[in-house]
A = this chain, B = another copy of it.
Amino acid sequence: MSEQLSLRAERLRAAGHKLTHARLSVLRVLEESGGHVTSAEVLERVSALDASIGRASVFRTLDLFTSLLIVRPTYIDSSVTPTYVLMPEGHHHHIICTNCNRVIEFEDCCLSEMTAELEARLGVKLTGHLVEFYGLCDRCRQ
């Protein structure tokens, strides 16, 4: 396979998982869709890429990616289906407008001190985080 492998694919392999066609397709879809996608959207786009990939594999892959923190499911717009958020370097931060469900991402991270403090105090090993703020976006604020 001469295909260029993304960093995340390497992480998959490093964690002892096979780089299968189904998994690489899901990864590609996630990386090409900008960061916030529902499972229905992933299903649809994977199917468009290769209709022979089964739904079960897509869900299995999303579960696997979740456990590896490549992706994190979150509930935007309180629907049934989670929205999968890419976690670029293990962390992600956004604001969800409680009125229109718009998602505003931001990069600033002020949690490295707190990460170290929690690891020391609780004996845990932290590898990522998600910060969600809720409120009204500039438009909905009137």
Contacts and interface: CB of A to CB of B under 8 A. Distances in A.
Interface in A30-51: none
> How many copies of this chain does the complex contain?
2
Q: Is the interface of A mostly helix, strand, loop or mixed?
A: mixed
Interface string A12-23: 000000000000
A133 B67 CA distance: 13
A51 B136 CA distance: 37
Nearest to A121: B106
Nearest to A114: B110
A126 B130 contact: no
Given A73-B75, A110-B110, A126 B134 contact: yes
Contact of A124 (B69, B124, B138): B138
Question: Which 3 residue pairs are nearest across A and B when measured between Cβ atoms?
Answer: A123-B138, A126-B135, A73-B75
